[in-house]
Amino acid sequence: MLDVDDHLPLTTVAFEILLAVGERETTGYEVMLAIEARTAGRLNPNPGTLYRAIDRLVGDGLIEVTPTAGGGTKPRRRLSISELGRAVLAAESDRLAAQIDAARSLGASGSTR
């Protein structure tokens, strides 16, 4: 089994994908919509970037895939977060929270002076 720290830090897109699949089993298209909604459109990954990142997360064992019958020529894939993926997501969340705490301790509150 791979160590959680072997997967850190996550890219912004990978973090957002894990957040989306951590909420519920979903499709790649639904992941894209969830990312756009959560970030209020600030992050809008193109499909190529999104699906490459999903494939990488699947290959790393952070996302699990369940094929289902689809309406097109290819079966649709249902994506869900794995136990390892959930652990990596939690560790990345803690890492980012520590960075935010450090910035706030320096007075970087996000407001302009």
> Residue ranges per domain, the chain?
7-105
The CATH code belonging to domain 7-105 is 1.10.10.10
- If you average pLDDT over each of 44-48, 81-85, 100-104, which comes out highest? 81-85
Residue 35's CB: how many other CB atoms inside 10 A?
Answer: 22
pLDDT band at 112 (very low <50, low <70, confident <90, very high): low
Q: Encoding tokens for residue 110?
A: 């996000």
In this prediction, residue 68 carries a pLDDT of: 80
At 14, which helix (H) or strand (E)?
helix 12-23
pLDDT in tens, 18-64: 999 999 999 999 999 999 999 999 999 999 999 999 999 999 999 99
Pair type for strands 76-81 and 63-68: antiparallel
Q: What angle do CA 22, 42, 31 make, to 5 degrees?
A: 30
